[in-house]
Amino acid sequence: MPSQHQSKTSQPTPGHVCDYSQVADEELVILTDDSTNTKREKSMEKVCRQEEAEWREREHEAECKAKRQKVEEEWLEAEQKKRVEEEAQKRRVMEEEAESLSGEGPGHAEFVYFCTTTR
């Protein structure tokens, strides 16, 4: 028994112009042939690819520069913190030495520290 299959589109008859406006998009097949690209189109595509590559390179360089700046800033902050801590430690040592030599209170040690650091 032959199968009774109906096509969604009408079958063309000889000498008949088909109207495919009724065909759903998923039923359409678009054929392309790269050999139809002109030299100009290929040249433009090449230029676009080069511009995209250059843009990606500039983006990469900018990201690297930002990372280097961040690392440098963090390093400078750490160095500044280290210097402040070292200075505070020196001051404590000087105050303790001044207090132990003079037998005076903390205010006197600050005066002695001030005198020793301003020479």
DSSP code string of 72-106? HHHHHHHHHHHHHHHHHHHHHHHHHHHHHHH---H
Residue 94 · residue 108 · CB < 8 Å: no
Q: Is 99 exposed, middle or buried (0-12, 13-18, 19+ CB in 10 A)?
A: middle
CA distance linking residue 3 with residue 89, whole number of Å: 98
Q: Is residue 28 in some structural domain?
A: no
Query: Does residue 108 lie in a domain region?
Result: yes
Instruction: Determine, yes or no, domain membership for 106.
Output: yes
Identify whether 54 is part of a domain.
yes
Question: Residues 19, 5: contact at Cβ < 8 Å?
Answer: no
- pLDDT tier for residue 54 given thresholds of 50, 70 and 90: very high
User: For 58-91, how does the pLDDT look when each residue is reduced to its tens digit (9 = 90+)?
Assistant: 999 999 999 999 999 999 999 999 999 999 999 9
Residue 4 in domain: no
Residue ranges making up the domain that contains 80: 39-117
Residue 88 lies in a domain: yes
Structural domains counted in the chain = 1
51 domain residue, yes or no? yes
Regarding predicted confidence, which is higher, 60 or 40? 60
Q: Which residue has the higher pLDDT, 49 or 4?
A: 49
